[in-house]
Amino acid sequence: MKLTRREFLALSGKATAGAVIFAACGIPESELIIQSPVELPEDLVRGEDAWFATINPDGRNGDGLIVRVMQGRAKKIAGNVDHPVNMGGHGLGDDAELQMLYHPDRLAGPLFRRTHGGVLAQTPWAQAENLLAQAVDTSSITVVTNPLRGHLGWVASRFAEVKGGRYLAFDPMEQGVLHGAVKTIFDADVLPDFDIANAHTVLSFGADWLGSWISPVRHTVQYGKLRDGDERGYMIHGESRMSMTAAAADLWLPTRPGTEGDVALAIAHVIIDEGLASDSEINAFTSVLPPGILNAYRPEAVAAKSGVPEEKIIRAGRRFGSSRPSVAFGGGSAGAHVHGTFALSAIYALNTLVSAVGSTGGVTLNPTSPVAGLSGSSTGASFQEWEEELAQWRAGNVETVVIRGVDLVHGMPDSVDIVGALRSVPNVVVFGTVMDDTMAEATLALPEKSFLEDWGTDIPEPAPGYQTVGFQQPVVGPTITANETSLISDARGFGDELLRLAGADIGAGSMRELVERTARELFDEGRASGSVVAPNENLFRTGALQRGGWWDTSATAPSTSFNFPNFIRGKTEAEFSSTSNLGAGIDLTLVPFVSNSLDTGRLSPTPWAQQTPDPMSSATWALWAELNKEDAKSIEVGEGDIIFIKSSVGEIEAIAYPHPGVPPGTVGVPVGYGKTEGGRWAEGRGENVLSILADHKDEETGALAWAATSVRIQKTGRRLKLPKFEGTVEAFPIEPGVPVLVVAPGETAHEAEEANHHEYQKLFESDETRREIGRDSKGDPISGSEAHE
């Protein structure tokens, strides 16, 4: 039985002491019944299915999810139509999370070895907890996680603080350049929301926002609305790879790597030169820049530098300046250079030329977090910070490292020798689900609960323009094997283990307690405009869990005026690594990109993620390299040829995929392959492109400039068929045939049949053919004697 929200609320009012009011808050209604497992007995077994709302703090941007559970087993993950971030959509990775939950190679129990050279052996949890307590009883400790915005990140940070250690977040691709540019231009500490749905023109650079950047599910939902309006929105995208976003664009600007900021300033030059902005808008943009600096970014000059035709730059500027509302944003490869902060700042500054900030169809600045202690923003520590930290590990100044949510060995370039650094630390504790390359270096490996088994919160970034909190709750109990004889994994929650060791100092006893405390604080605020309103705390908490979170559409960022500083400073030109002494071949710029299904490797252990075809090449189960067809032809490489990709740091092999849509001078390689460990479906599959990245850094933030590596491409002489869904069918010229029916423009098939357009058909007929079908040169019937002749 399905209930509409109105029916559900009516029944809730009859069944409880007081009604729980679910304010619509502009979110579309859908026929959906979701429950709170807190109110259900753990041993309840029913033949019908139940749906539970939750969020995945390790996923992209805290999308709201609903999970179908039958007889205690999770069967399906879908998007929560009630959640304001993703509005019912869900990503490829969400489906693969089920296979992580029931993975046959999931860590069954704790593993321990006394020294780094020893063998990891099973140990009971009682001993493992004692070993963990001894390991963290030191002031020289570092806690490492993936970027987290909810209470799990808060617990990790507070744990490191009370132990006198250091907390670091790691992300191989995003290390602060984007947040730095947003702070520079908008003076904002959290990422803004982009009102793509209501824009007339969307201009983006580098960020594959329909594929893998920041919040792709939300962006995809908004993209559908952009294209479905009365005035079909127009999309311009600049990127040095033919990504999903580039393929969907009305105007693609195939920029040479490192020239995205130049193209953005050339577009600004067009808008100002042709008077497409008001005097106040122009003054807001130019007043902080050195006089005459934009003359260096004339379209003709930038066209020669960037490889984007001048006509396209002018067309982009005219469209962006005149067809408003317009919005501009960038990220990904556009900011992954030594001048990344300059490039992204130039892109985001374009919004001032079209008054996009705070406007419908423009940039919506987000408010601060509604939960005390949670910042609502998180990014990976810079590569420079990591170099400094790893130097401490190698020097023996750190006794214990605690890691969860990241595979440092897979995610770091070989230039930093992460394995050597880990082996210099006496105690390496790693929490995880399936064995990975970092866990293989651990002295203590601990099985961690899936997000489907644990409690937590998340503050989405970017939020949808108003305060939002996602609630995570366990939707299944302990995972039982198929034959019901044992546990798949005797796992513990990372947050709960840290709180067990230092909860008194941190101020909480469990993750569930923190979730309940958050619900209580929100209830005590008594906001009538919130998404959940209830007469008592218990009903409020149950309602928030049923809805998957809490949000308040009236709690927006205050309107503020801002003046950004001069961003054309420091390095404004790209720099690339050297390819000298790498042998024969051709030199290309390496363009790593995040896999739509594998993420950066987090989901590579699952067969669903491995077999999901890449949306551009349709490749699966293997590492491929995207080359321009002419570049490939110059070294006699065709599809299926295995090539060497050599950098100043190292080399990898990949299967060549030449394609005319790949910009010349580049080679695109997906991230996520090349794990030594990772379960039966990931181990030894492909090679790791992150390992060969040069150690160039963004000048301002110290972030890794992962798009600034030049490589030399060589043919190995070996071949391997690329597994892909796209067929390869060569087209051969054939003799023209005779059409069955010729239809003129605007005609129906019936009208064409009546008109009998033989004057068109005769173009396809020889004299001999016409005689055979009984027609003269005009297409009219001929007599029997003429036909016989």
Structure tokens belonging to residue 736: 């023209």
Domain finish residue from 307, 339, 364: 364
717/67 Cα distance (integer angstroms): 49
Q: What is the pLDDT of residues 493-517, one digit of tens each?
A: 999 999 999 999 999 999 999 999 9
Question: pLDDT value at position 48?
Answer: 73
Residues 283 and 207 in one domain: yes
Based on the fold, state whether residues 201 and 250 are members of the same structural domain.
Answer: yes
β-bridge partners, 655: 624, 642
21 three-class SS: strand
Q: Where are the beta strands (DSSP E) in 247-296?
A: 251-253
User: Considering only 84-93, 382-391, 650-659, which range has the smallest mean pLDDT?
Assistant: 84-93
Q: What is the crossing angle of helices 279-286 and 340-353, to 10°?
A: 160
Give the SS3 label for residue 647: coil
The pLDDT value recorded for residue 231 is 83
Question: In 319-453, which ranges are E strands?
Answer: 326-330, 363-364, 400-404, 427-432, 444-447
Element (H, E) at 78: strand 73-79
Alpha carbons within 13 A on the beta-carbon side of 291: 0
Cα–Cα distances in Å, from 759 out to 737, 741, 744, 778, 786? 15, 12, 11, 6, 19
Packing angle of the helix pair 260-273, 299-306 (nearest 10 deg): 160
Q: Could you list the residue range(s) of the whole structural domain that residue 248 is in?
A: 176-364
At residue 138, the pLDDT reads 86
Domain assignment present for residue 338? The answer is yes
Of the pLDDT bands very low, low, confident and very high (cuts 50, 70, 90), residue 642 is very high
Structural domain contains residue 109 = no
* Size of the chain, expressed as the number of residues it contains: 789
Residue 647 sits in the same domain as residue 784: no
191 lies in a domain? yes
One domain, residues 743 and 620? no
Q: Tell me which residue has tokens 């067990």.
A: 500
Provide the pLDDT confidence category of residue 21 given band limits of 50, 70 and 90.
low
pLDDT at 764: 47
Considering the domain architecture, whether residues 766 and 680 belong to the same structural domain is answered as no
Question: Is the pLDDT reported for residue 404 higher than 50?
Answer: yes
* 741 plus 691 within the same structural domain: no
Same domain, 673 and 749: no
| pLDDT tens-digit map of 91-127 | 888 999 999 999 999 999 999 999 998 999 999 999 9
Residue 674's CATH number? 2.40.40.20
Instruction: Please count the structural domains in the chain.
Output: 3
Per-residue pLDDT of 55-81, as tens digits, reads 999 988 889 999 999 888 999 999 999
| Residue 290 · residue 570 · CB < 8 Å | no
Cα 195 → chain centroid? 18
pLDDT in the model for residue 737: 58
Higher per-residue confidence, 287 vs 784: 287
Within-domain flag for 151: no
Look at residue 1 in the predicted model and tell me its pLDDT: 39
pLDDT over 60 at 29, yes or no: no
Instruction: Please say whether the beta carbons of 189 and 498 come within 8 A.
Output: no
Q: How do residues 707-725 score in pLDDT, each as one tens digit?
A: 999 999 999 999 999 999 8
> What would the mean pLDDT of 754-770 be, rounded to a whole number?
55
Q: What is the mean pLDDT of residues 576-596?
A: 96
**Confidence (pLDDT) at 729:** 55
Structure tokens belonging to residue 505: 């100092």
Whether residue 607 is found in the same domain as residue 744:
no
Asked if residue 528 belongs to a domain, the reply is no
Q: Domain containing 283 — which CATH number? A: 3.40.228.10
**Same domain (yes/no): 203, 247:** yes
Q: Which of 316, 336, 364 is the last residue of a domain?
A: 364
pLDDT confidence tier of residue 687, bands split at 50, 70 and 90: very high
Q: Could you report the per-residue pLDDT of 45-57, keeping only the tens digit for each?
A: 556 788 999 999 9
SS3 annotation, 138-181: CCCEEEEECCCCCHHHHHHHHHHHHCCCEEEECCCCCCCHHHHH
668 and 782 belong to one structural domain:
no
506's tokens: 């941190």
The pLDDT of residue 17:
40
Do the domain assignments include residue 744? yes
Q: What is the pTM of this model?
A: 0.88
704 and 767 co-located in one domain: no
Last residue of a domain, one of 329, 364, 399: 364
Instruction: Judge whether 342 and 567 are in contact, CB under 8 Å.
Output: yes
pLDDT of 618: 94
Is 207 within a domain? yes
739 plus 641 within the same structural domain: no
Asked whether residue 81 is assigned to any structural domain, the reply reads no
pLDDT on residue 38? 55
